[in-house]
Amino acid sequence: MKKIWLVLILACIFVLSSCGDDSKSPAKVDEPDNEPEETADTDTAEETTDAEVPEEPTENEKFDPENPGYTVEFDIIDIDMMGQGQSMAIGYFMKTAREDLEEGEVVDVTLDTCVMGESSPRVPSCTSKEDCAPEQDCVPETDSNGQVIENSEHCETLGRESLDVGPVMISGFNGGPYPFAFEPGDQVYKLNGTGDGSIDRSIIAYNTEYEIKADELIPDDLKSLSAKFMMPPALQIIEPAATEGGMFGAAIAIDNSKPLKFVWEGNGGQGYIDITITAAQSLSNTVSVTCKVIDDGEFTVPEEFASQLVFGGGGDGMMGQMLAMMNMIIFDRHAESPITGEGISVGRVSSEQLIMANVMPTGGYTPEPEPTEPEPTEPTESTEPEPTEPETGD
């Protein structure tokens, strides 16, 4: 199961101060004998107020191991990979872990920015179990091949299980609503509780409000849930225009000699999109640029990043074809809304729309440099002294 980002909704705190206004009322201005006392009382009140303002509790302080509540998530995923489509809809329920509360949504300061590589540099959040809560361990993340990801160590509650809490209804799909139920094989919620989690792409309705509801759930401390979620418009890259000639049909034309302007069907600034461009100059020299952008329909990759994309490949040879296949662009749209209900500590419904396409560089490909053999070197004369005949006595 892919790693899930969870939404944490924090209450806003409004501090109202009115002591100074009371001391300046006409009645108190007419009573000069009380003015010093009023001033003193006001100062004292302000000092007391400052001292008694409670600090906002941290996520660890909010977590109750004896009564953690439940974490629930449903994801609708729509993928267009090289012109081939696939869609999925899955969900799960678990007892909430401390780390669920610590994971938040993307903050605005990270949006409309680019980095070299597929993500920002990682920084481990722990080095040993002693850095974590008693029920957690310090563990690294792994990639799809099971290899440890460097500097990904984090505190995690191990041994958690996905739970069957009863059926959930989701409306908004074409032809819906549809029931989702727990499938014990993969231990996730699926359409009708069967299959591998995939759904027919034709039932996904775009630019439409979805609703998730469940009543009389099995655990007494969970009861019910509800959520409303606005599915964004269908993701479509408008600029740069698609062109024929890619390894898998239509490809996205990229000119890396200037800033790269992208235009797509936006979501009104709601949610965000990850744009990742990978250029393979050779099998051993690939460069990626990733930009996390507001989903408003337009973004320009600065020239300082675009200029580092050198696309190799092209031609009829096998090596050229392999490099051309590695030149890719990925648009990944993310939108989400909270799921609420009695007993739910953390909940969200989200959608992922992903387009993966080949890149067709408008300036042409850069051929892979031919390997060169080292030039033979002339043998050097020996500098060792020549042997001498031993002297013999008379």
pLDDT digit string, tens, across residues 99-129: 998 765 556 667 899 998 876 678 899 999 9
Q: What's the pLDDT at 332?
A: 96
Contact 354, 236 (CB under 8 A): no
The lowest-confidence range among 60-69, 141-150, 201-210 is: 60-69
What does DSSP assign to residue 32? G
Residue 35 clears pLDDT 80, i.e. is over it: no
Of residues 334, 341, 345, 101, the one with CA closest to residue 212 = 341
Q: What's the pLDDT at 138?
A: 96
Residue 139 clears pLDDT 80, i.e. is over it: yes
Structure tokens at 344: 């739910």
Q: What's the pLDDT at 380?
A: 52
Mapped onto helix, strand or coil, the DSSP state of residue 100 is: helix
Strand pairing of 237-239 and 260-264? antiparallel
Mapped onto helix, strand or coil, the DSSP state of residue 202 is: helix
pLDDT tens for 62-78 read: 788 888 999 999 999 99
Q: Can you tell me the distance from the alpha carbon of 69 to that of 4, in angstroms, rounded to the nearest whole number?
A: 18
pLDDT tens for 239-277 read: 998 877 656 667 888 888 889 999 999 999 999 999 999
pLDDT tens for 347-384 read: 999 999 999 998 888 866 666 555 555 565 565 555 55
Q: What's the pLDDT at 251?
A: 85
pLDDT tens for 215-241 read: 989 988 998 999 999 999 999 999 998
* pLDDT level of residue 82 (50, 70, 90 thresholds): confident
Query: Rounded to the nearest 5°, which phi and psi values hold at 164?
Result: -95, 110
What residues contact 187, with CB distance under 8 A and at least 6 apart? 92, 161, 162
Largest CA distance in the chain: 138
Determine the average pLDDT of the residues in 180-188: 96
Average pLDDT, the chain: 79
Q: What's the pLDDT at 350?
A: 94
Structure tokens at 149: 């990801």
Q: What's the pLDDT at 143?
A: 83
Question: Domain boundaries in the chain?
Answer: 70-104+123-231
| Percent of the chain's residues with pLDDT above 90 | 49
What residues contact 234, with CB distance under 8 A and at least 6 apart? 206, 207, 265, 353
| CA 392 vs CA 236, 372, 387, 388, 389: distances in Å | 98, 57, 15, 12, 9
Q: Can you tell me the distance from the alpha carbon of 185 to that of 300, in angstroms, rounded to the nearest whole number?
A: 44
| CA 16 vs CA 20, 43, 334: distances in Å | 11, 16, 37
What does DSSP assign to residue 142? B
Pick the more confident residue, 30 or 320: 320
Residues shown for the chain = 394
* pLDDT level of residue 187 (50, 70, 90 thresholds): very high
* pLDDT level of residue 86 (50, 70, 90 thresholds): very high
Q: What's the pLDDT at 359?
A: 87
Mapped onto helix, strand or coil, the DSSP state of residue 251 is: strand
